[in-house]
Amino acid sequence: MPSAAVTDLLSPELLKRLERLELVSRRIFRGRLKGERRGKRKGQSVEFADFRSYIAGDDLRFIDWNLYARLDKLFLKLFLEEEDLHVFALIDASESMNFGTPTKLHVAKQLAAALGYVGLCRADRVKVAALGPPSAAAPVLRGRASMWRMIDYLSGVEPGHNVSLSSGVKDFCLRNPGQGVVLLITDLMDKDGYESALRMLVGRRMDVYLLHVMAPEELDPPLIGDLKLVDAEDGEETEVTASGYLLNRYRRGVDSFVAGARSFCSQRGVTYIQIRSDEPVERIVTSYLRSHGVVR
């Protein structure tokens, strides 16, 4: 397997640290396989949950015979079943992510890899996918050994899939009907808006984390003079005279955009986390995401 890709996306030191982490879900979802977390569904487990009356057809193995002996009634012992978690890491692979040093897409892939690895280590069901056409080829992973496939997939993700955020999310929702934790890693640079995409995820009762990646060049553009700005995605041209006055207005615009996104998310139970692309992914995961409660 491409160890170079592993080193590129996740350093061995980070991998060790990630193994001790766990993804936090504020909801308990029903997984398909037993995982390492307590599911909401009661089932075969060692942890008692409740009793209920026997109904014909129930598994006789869960009848509490001691209680039948005392009360002469058939009660079924219910146990909380430990389930696995569905973790989806969605990467915006549009052309706008191909900016910054390192590129925002690279940071997004690192985050996806890191969080995906955390999920794999906890036997969660992990699906790492880039929005747009590559999402079809995204594998469903489980178990630490699947890390290589995940890395392999992420290495193959290239920028340039300029689907809008809403259509990409819609496509994802159609393909993945289950619930779970969604880590949406994007720069939100979508002229059609990000709101419909988030609404769709929230409407699917997903536990949504929005990781908003921004390059320092976007936050504080080092521009001066008369320029013709060319949009990397749709080629739209905008002429500006980059003066102090305009740059101030731009910065104010960015601030209000971020504030708007944060406000939108908080109103809908979406965890908004702003990430600068020039920060090391180790620090982002181990301290930043931890402080925001994404991992613990």
Q: Which residues bind other proteins (CB under 8 A)?
A: 95-99, 104, 187, 189-191, 215, 218, 221, 223, 225-233, 236-241, 243-246, 249-250, 252-254, 256-257
Closest CA to 25 of 211, 194, 184, 179: 179
Q: Nearest CA to 282 among 4, 3, 11?
A: 11
**Could you count the other beta carbons within 10 Å of the beta carbon of residue 151?**
25
Taking alpha carbons only, the member of 205, 149, 209, 210 closest to residue 177 is: 205
For other proteins, the closer CB: 126 or 211: 211
Nearest approach, Cβ of residue 100 and other proteins (Å): 8
Sheet holding 75-83, edge to edge: 37-43, 75-83, 47-53
Distance CA 2, CA 151 (A): 8
Between 215 and 284, whose beta carbon lies closer to other proteins? 215
Residue 61 has which token pair?
């193995």
* 64 versus 190: smaller Cβ distance to other proteins: 190
Q: Taking the complex as a whole, how short is the minimal distance between the CB of residue 245 and other proteins, in angstroms?
A: 6
CB of 157 to other proteins, least distance (A): 17
Nearer to other proteins, 76 or 91 (CB): 91
Q: How far is the CB of 263 from other proteins (least distance, A)?
A: 16
Task: Give the Cβ contact number of residue 176 at 10 Å.
Answer: 20
What's the rounded Cα separation, in Å, for the pair 241 and 84?
54
CB of 96 to other proteins, least distance (A): 4
Q: Where are the alpha helices (DSSP H) in 36-193?
A: 65-71, 104-121, 147-156, 165-175
Judged by beta carbon, residue 15 or residue 232, the one nearer other proteins is 232
**What's the CA dihedral at 66, 69, 72, 74 to 10 degrees?**
30
Name the CA dihedral angle for 57, 62, 66, 70, rounded to a multiple of 10 degrees.
Answer: -40
Nearer Cβ to other proteins, position 97 or 197?
97
Torsion of the alpha carbons at 104, 258, 195 and 96, rounded to the nearest 10: -30
The Cα 130–Cα 109 span in angstroms is 9
Burial class from Cβ neighbours inside 10 Å (0-12, 13-18, 19+) for residue 173 reads middle
- C-beta of 224: minimal distance to other proteins in Å? 8
Q: Which is nearer to other proteins, 33 or 246 (CB)?
A: 246
User: Rounded to the nearest whole angstrom, what is the least distance from the CB of residue 83 to other proteins in the complex?
Assistant: 40
C-beta closer to other proteins: residue 85 or 189: 189
Report residue 252 as tokens: 């104010």
Nearest distance from C-beta of residue 95 to other proteins, angstroms:
8
